[in-house]
A and B are shown apart, each in its own frame.
Chain A
């Protein structure tokens, strides 16, 4: 069984001492028995130049390149979008792009977002859309994190049907509340490792979403990975489904070049 954590938040966090350095990640990998992981660096999220932030992340975590891939964080309103996506497509250390519209404050229905989608298609990369990075109620006061317009999101997912999307760090309640026919959107995956489950959320998942399109990112080390993992382990999903969610499905979405 492969274990693939599709959302690690790594590097130096400006708001809190997070065990997100190379040594910390090696310990996390051992303890969580990770085979592979997909990371997003705090530098990419918070630097004025997310590309420069990504370069620094790639340098800092170079020794983990065997098991750790990165998402390039895109703010579609910034320049050099096409070059950034082209670079991502050519660099084997980068396995997708992440949009964080609530943090970077842009609308999802825009020409620039469509360019991201087209470029991602061309490069064979998934587009990860984040609902948030922080818990809305207790985010650092310096952070203004807007809610994602779920109507716009729904429209984007349906309009860009050739793009592979992964919805990450949305809450179960938000996703269920979208009222979308998920069967009809085979291009959409859910990353449910950091999605505020209730006591029944994972048990009920097969009733509203195709479980072969669920991946699992815990948000570690900013968030407790153990809680998320145990929530999956303890659910009433079959062992085969759990194994797929924990790793196999991710191997289909994020190509491990």
Chain B
């Protein structure tokens, strides 16, 4: 089991009423529940205490949410775990030179022009959504390369409003 960057080698033994999960350090947790595959809410009894998890399916494991935490739990055989360690980490695309629309909304004003140098914290444009005006500011100093939107445009989330050099 691999979650939140931690690996837990486990073995499991099941009987009619539940499963005993043995950890590598010798401890055992008893798990009982009437969860069936496809249920999005799992009410479990773990080691004698109640636990409610929101369960989603992702390839190779579960997406589990509990008490404000969101975890990807990978379930792997020992050989898979060994190989998984060798897999490269996926790097998110670099969007640091773009201003993305943070929510679906309407562009009210664009405060800069192409070619203009902007300072950190300077207002770039104003987006209105749900009756709130949100001022988008420059995160760092830069030069505006291209503006892809005009006041009055209705944008979807993550649409590129402007690009920087």
Q: Do A and B come from one complex?
A: no
- Tell me the A residues contacting B by CB distance below 8 Å: none
